[in-house]
Amino acid sequence: MSYERHTLDNGVRIVLAPMPQAQSVTVALMYAAGSRYETRETNGIAHFAEHMFFKGTENRPSSRDIAGEIDAIGGEFNAFTGKEYTGYYVRCAAEHRDTALDVLVDMLRHSKFETEEIEREKGVIIEEMNMYFDTPRDYIGGVYEDLLYGDQPLGWDIIGRKDTVRGATRDAFMEYIGRWYKPERLVVGIGGKIEGDVTEAIERHLGDLEPADTGEPDPVSVNGNGSRVRVHTKQSDQAHIALGVPSYPITHPDRYALQLLATVLGGGMSSRLFTEVRERRGLAYYVFGTNHSYTDAGSLYAQAGVDINRIDDAVSTVAAELRRIADEAVPADELEKARNFAKGRFVLQLENPHGLIMYGLRKEVLEGQTVDPAEVLAELDKVTGDDVQRVARDLIDDRRLRLALIGPFDDAERFEKLLG
């Protein structure tokens, strides 16, 4: 599993992940642009634009025309918007690679953004928003990041707000795309059975784009002086919590030790959180621990859906597990199990063309380099128990704990006392 990397004269980067044994390919275009690149007045425009690129081009006038061409090759296509990137892809048989590339480029270069379609899609986005807000297991992540980052783009929901979605205009889309959808922010990825000179085809499609210096979004500041607890009051039979601490950016030197720390805490059904919160105490159905990093910020946190009548016990138990991993060295056998878990899940993620190229694209977009999987496995092998405890002690402290909750509660002070 390895990557080939090329760069066109205008700054467009190409990442190839050859898998000769495969019969399919994933063709993807990913931009270093997402909801973090919005203003408060345009919050949600990145995600809304992702929808609009499927609505018709000059060559393929309607969404039906676009979908029909992908259906005709037996392919599947989709897109996703994050806070720091947006991606569009087609998966299909290898023989139809050029068609997939042509459709994607046409969508991203020649979409019409008709006012009538924009107005129609607003209703779709609002309903997607309602579904998101009505799904606490998903929405708790937004509440937690609002607590961590406050009123700045990393603290806003990717999907936006109802007032900004309803107020979106064609000019707003054109301004956002014209500012951020530029060659130096674009990475083209193809993974799977790659035959012929694919870079030449990409050059034909994208080589005439004019380069431009777009600048960067404002650096993030963690909301360290704000509240330690954020409660989203909602009548429900189950409470959802996210409890954690600010951590490291995505390229931090200790990122692999941090990954194993998160794995010991909450990776898999034999992790500390799963064992203590669910198996021993019966406080939750689901519980996990993870680390989520951006280019200049991050957070190590636990998330769980818990019994509303035992919410205090659940918060205290999760907080205690966080403290314990900082206070006590991780035993060698437990660290080795976590290492094997992390490596195994990583390898499984990269077994197919889609997983392999998407990993490479995210690395290239967010870190400016494509790291071969073998290097990642080697770095995980280097992590020692001392590394994990050093990182845990650096990050986990009662004063740094942050708690977000969704449930039938309205007293944040009550929960602040549980954090110590």
Average pLDDT in the 107-114 region? 98
- How many other CB atoms are there within 10 angstroms of residue 73's CB atom? 16
Instruction: Give 229-419's CATH code, choosing from 3.30.830.10, 3.40.605.10, 3.40.1180.10, 3.40.50.300.
Output: 3.30.830.10
Average pLDDT in the 359-371 region? 96
Q: pLDDT at position 124, please?
A: 98
50 is catalytic: yes
> At 320, phi and psi to the nearest 5?
-65, -40
Name residue 359's amino acid.
Y
Q: Which of 38, 50, 69, 321 is catalytic?
A: 50
Exposure class string for 88-121: b at 16+ Cβ within 10 A, else e: bbbbbebebbebbbbbbbbbbeebebeeebbeeb
| Cα 58 from Cα 115, distance rounded (Å) | 15
Q: pLDDT at position 320, please?
A: 97
For residue 23, what pLDDT band results from cuts at 50, 70 and 90? Answer: very high
For residue 237, what pLDDT band results from cuts at 50, 70 and 90? Answer: very high
Q: pLDDT at position 226, please?
A: 78
- Express as a percent the part of the chain with pLDDT over 90: 95
Q: Residue 243 pLDDT > 90, yes or no? A: yes
Q: Residue 84 pLDDT > 70, yes or no? A: yes
- Whole-number Cα distances in Å, 185 to 8, 13, 210, 358: 12, 8, 12, 16
Model pTM above 0.85: yes
For residue 223, what pLDDT band results from cuts at 50, 70 and 90? Answer: confident
Among residues 416, 361, 387, the alpha carbon closest in space to that of 28 is found at: 361
CA 124 from chain center: how many Å? 22
| Cα 102 from Cα 286, distance rounded (Å) | 42
Average pLDDT in the 371-400 region? 97
| Intervals of CATH 3.30.830.10 along the chain | 4-206, 229-419
Q: Residue 224 pLDDT > 70, yes or no? A: no
Q: Which class does domain 4-206 fall in? A: alpha beta
